[in-house]
């Protein structure tokens, strides 16, 4: 039986059991990423009742569940249930009902009960993309296309344009909308003339009605264009550039080399570069032709790095607001990334500096769906050349790559002036990847799995994350651990840690806010808040819970062990919010590093590794003006870095409070006093 038939079978069985649906026609949409079909979404509507099946398999991960929806007046659901599994295989059981003037809901994130004379639109927590069509149709029935929603927040719908897709008899007129208020980024969707969901799309993936898959590339381009237009609007509104010196007074400068704060000083910036760092007693009276910013005794910290980013159009502002001014992109949609780089260089988009790596995957049933997938060693070598010609810094290898090809790929990359990083290919070992030519390993779990897995276990599946529970019983003082660390020391191998993403997965518990999310989550849109309050790993017993807890503590112990052995730690997140970079550094301190050591790793340490330390990593005369202002002393409390008041990226000024306002996030700080020639603020 084909995959598609298997996926549709639950729908037809449901229809068989409820005769009214036997004549109903399924609406089927397919999910496409990097030209690969990775999922399917099927809905059957019978009057006011809808049955939905959702299946995604992307690199061994993806939600798989069934939804039942009952629509009431104004196409507002009065009942909605979801049952199945989520991204990493955890069980999902969600329900919402409005009956007799009372709304009740229960999900992984929360539960509630509220008296309501009429039903309100409910934002489902573990739903599929079918929900986008439900929300849009409800919003279209309102005058202002805005609705307050349960359990909180507000959704809005903005009409963008009309267009036609398909050819001949298949040509369909659609309307493009921007749906905002659910998550960190707005969703772009298409409705047909009957207001049925035709597509949703971003710059790197597409959900589209079956039969129109040939239009996917057109939608990817449209997603890129629309997100670029929005990014350009925000850049114009939020970025401040001056052709006169900017004088930042009354600040202490954090020096990552010494780990200390300097005396109260003035830092002067002219366009892109720092022109002076002057102790307050030696600073001249304020010239009238300069921009003056009062740091009020706060601290300037060199811009942070995220060494494991998958950059998106929207991630740029989130990064900058968190003081992250440089990232290493560890694999992306190549066309999108190259276009984004051009826009960043032209000043059209806001975002950190990007060192970009080429994603190289092998072909298997578990292949990731972006970058370049090589089916032969010859294709892998061609991919290396393709990336080298376009200025990529390293090749990043992924799970399905044949481990026997790694040494050959490493030689080809080195010949073209590039390095090699990535996951440990399935059925390989960290030790072998080091010997074969890796310069750093991506993810601490990829390193530790070499000590936890049995021969033949397949890391192309979610096992590469679930097996970290075995860390509860790992002895770090064993020959196999010492052998790997000795190899890393001998060959100067770094580790891109991404401990924060493992904390999120291993310690996530339904209905609770994880420690790493507590400082910011209640500032965020309702959909994102609820998304974070869920269990991402299967927990079948109290023992499972305990093993994940202890396994994560072993990760922290491993970070300290590596640090004590002078292994370079590269803070990375596998995320794009900026908040996770800040948490990664907090985790370093929890592991036993001092706040100053943690900050060094994310500033000059990363710049040294990337070879950019002549321009970045410290705040000195002649260097690029990449830094951020916080009110307190991060050497005493690393969490002070969460309170950025101003960020400079190459002399361009951003105020996080203004960024967060634009992104519908409650700000975390106020901007400092600024005086502009001819205009006082």
Residue 419: phi and psi, rounded to 5, are: -100, -175
What tens digit of pLDDT does each residue of 278-288 get? 998 888 766 67
Local structure of 675: helix, strand or coil:
strand
Could you give the C-alpha distances from 475 to 47, 194, 548, 554, 567, in angstroms and in order?
A: 60, 62, 16, 9, 19
Whether 422 has a pLDDT exceeding 80, the answer reads yes
Q: Are strands 324-329 and 353-356 parallel, antiparallel or unpaired?
A: parallel
The DSSP code for 240 is: B
The model's confidence at residue 410, banded by pLDDT at 50, 70 and 90, is very high
Distance of CA 342 to the CA centre of its chain: 21
The model's confidence at residue 91, banded by pLDDT at 50, 70 and 90, is confident
C-alpha to C-alpha distance for 296 and 294, rounded to whole angstroms: 5
3-state secondary structure 587-623: HHHHHCCCHHHHHHHHCHHHHHHHCCCCCCCCCCCCC
CA atoms within 13 A on the CB side of 659: 30
Mean pLDDT of 469-483: 97
**Averaged pLDDT of the chain:** 92
CB 598 within 8 A of CB 332: no
Residue found under tokens 């409005």: 98
C-alpha to C-alpha distance for 103 and 107, rounded to whole angstroms: 14
pLDDT at residue 678, rounded to an integer: 67
Nearest to 496 by CA among 372, 331, 343, 635: 331
Q: How many CB atoms lie within 10 A of CB 543?
A: 11
What tens digit of pLDDT does each residue of 513-557 get? 999 999 999 998 888 888 888 888 888 899 999 999 999 999 999
Q: What is the pTM of this model?
A: 0.85
What tens digit of pLDDT does each residue of 642-678 get? 999 999 999 999 999 999 999 889 999 999 999 998 6
pLDDT at residue 181, rounded to an integer: 87
């Amino acid at each position: 039986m084909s995959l598609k038939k298997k996926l549709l079978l639950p729908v037809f069985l449901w229809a068989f059991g409820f005769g009214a649906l036997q004549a109903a026609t399924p609406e089927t949409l397919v999910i496409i990423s990097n030209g690969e079909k990775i999922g399917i979404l099927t809905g059957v509507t019978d009057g006011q009742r809808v049955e939905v099946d959702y299946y995604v398999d992307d690199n061994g991960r993806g939600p798989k569940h069934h939804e039942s929806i009952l629509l009431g007046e104004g196409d507002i659901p009065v009942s909605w249930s979801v049952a199945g599994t989520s991204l990493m295989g955890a069980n999902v059981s969600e329900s919402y009902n409005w009956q007799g003037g009372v709304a009740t809901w229960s999900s992984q994130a929360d539960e509630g009960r509220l008296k309501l004379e009429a039903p309100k639109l409910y934002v489902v927590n573990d739903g599929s993309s079918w929900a986008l069509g439900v929300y849009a149709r409800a919003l279209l029935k309102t005058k202002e296309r805005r609705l307050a929603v349960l359990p909180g927040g507000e959704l809005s719908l903005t009409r963008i344009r009309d267009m036609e897709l398909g050819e001949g008899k298949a040509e369909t007129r659609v309307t493009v909308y921007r749906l905002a208020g659910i998550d960190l980024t707005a969703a772009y969707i298409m409705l047909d003339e009957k207001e049925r969901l035709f597509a949703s799309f971003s710059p790197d993936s597409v959900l589209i009605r079956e039969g129109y898959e040939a239009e996917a590339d057109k939608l990817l381009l449209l997603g890129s264009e629309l997100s670029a237009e929005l990014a350009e609007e925000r850049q114009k509104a939020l970025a401040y550039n001056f052709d006169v010196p900017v004088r930042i007074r009354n600040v202490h400068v954090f020096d990552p080399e010494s780990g200390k704060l300097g005396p109260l000083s003035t830092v002067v910036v002219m366009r892109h570069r720092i022109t002076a760092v002057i102790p307050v007693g030696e600073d001249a009276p304020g010239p009238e032709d300069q921009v003056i910013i009062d740091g009020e005794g706060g601290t300037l910290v060199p811009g942070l790095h995220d060494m494991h980013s998958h950059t998106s159009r929207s991630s740029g502002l989130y990064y900058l607001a968190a003081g992250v001014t440089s990232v290493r992109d560890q694999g992306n949609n190549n066309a999108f990334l190259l276009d984004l780089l051009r826009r960043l260089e032209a000043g059209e988009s806001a975002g950190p500096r990007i060192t970009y790596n080429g994603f190289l995957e092998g072909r298997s049933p578990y292949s990731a769906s972006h970058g370049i997938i090589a089916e032969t060693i010859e294709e892998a070598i061609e991919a290396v050349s393709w990336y080298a010609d376009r200025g990529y810094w390293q090749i990043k290898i992924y799970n399905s790559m044949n481990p026997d090809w790694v040494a050959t790929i490493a030689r080809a990359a080195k010949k073209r002036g590039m390095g090699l990083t990535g996951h440990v290919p399935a059925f390989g070992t960290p030790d072998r990847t080091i010997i074969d030519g890796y310069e750093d390993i991506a993810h601490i779990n990829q390193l530790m799995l070499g000590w936890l897995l049995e021969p033949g276990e397949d890391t192309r599946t979610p096992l590469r994350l679930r097996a970290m529970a075995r860390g509860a019983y790992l002895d770090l003082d064993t020959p196999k651990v010492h052998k790997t660390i000795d190899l890393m020391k001998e060959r100067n191998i770094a580790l891109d840690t991404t401990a924060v993403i493992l904390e999120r997965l291993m310690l996530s518990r339904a209905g609770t806010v994880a420690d790493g999310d507590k400082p910011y989550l209640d500032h965020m849109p309702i959909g994102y808040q609820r998304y974070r309050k869920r269990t991402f790993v299967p927990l079948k017993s109290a023992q499972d819970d305990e093993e994940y807890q202890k396994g994560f503590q072993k990760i922290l112990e491993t970070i300290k062990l590596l640090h004590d052995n002078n292994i370079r730690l590269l803070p990375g997140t596998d995320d794009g919010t900026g908040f996770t970079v800040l948490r990664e550094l907090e985790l370093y301190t929890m592991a036993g590093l001092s706040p100053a050591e943690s900050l060094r790793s994310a500033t000059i340490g990363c710049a040294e590794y990337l070879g950019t330390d002549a321009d970045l990593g410290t705040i000195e005369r002649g260097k690029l003006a990449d830094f951020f202002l916080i009110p307190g002393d991060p050497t005493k409390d690393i969490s002070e870095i969460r309170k950025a008041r101003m960020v400079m990226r190459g002399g361009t000024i951003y105020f996080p409070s203004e960024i967060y306002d634009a992104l519908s996030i409650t700000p975390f700080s106020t901007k400092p006093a600024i005086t502009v020639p001819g205009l006082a603020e």
